[in-house]
Structure 1
Amino acid sequence: MSDLIKRYPFSKDKEIKVEISREQMAAILYAQDYGLKRMDPDALAVLDSVMDTLTYKLHP
């Protein structure tokens, strides 16, 4: 069991559906390709908005 699962013990896998903007999609891909350290503050804010959306869907 990973440390993440120990910290956040979901009882089972969960399928969620989210709608994100083109800008949010671009931020995700940029972070994957170049890493968080190379993102400017505006791009990080967009990525944070994706995380907020996912967090709400996982734990409303």
Structure 2
Amino acid sequence: DKVLKLKKALYGLKQAPRAWNSRIDKYFQENGFIKCPHEYALYAKVCENGDILLVCL
């Protein structure tokens, strides 16, 4: 008998939401967004022209 270990989360498994959140968090932070310390699903970015981008997941 063989046992295989998944290297990524699959839809429907209990770790899938955490894996998705980690991936999207990494993407936003790599692109200059700052995570709100009071609301974990809110990201903000101030553009060079002064515009403020807010992303709420």
Query: TM-score, structure 1 length as denominator?
Result: 0.33
The structure whose RCO (Cα within 8 Å, separation 6+) is larger is: 1
Answer with 1 or 2: which has the greater Rg.
2
Higher percent of residues as helix: 1
Structure 1 or 2: more strand by fraction: 2
Output the TM-score relative to the length of structure 2: 0.34
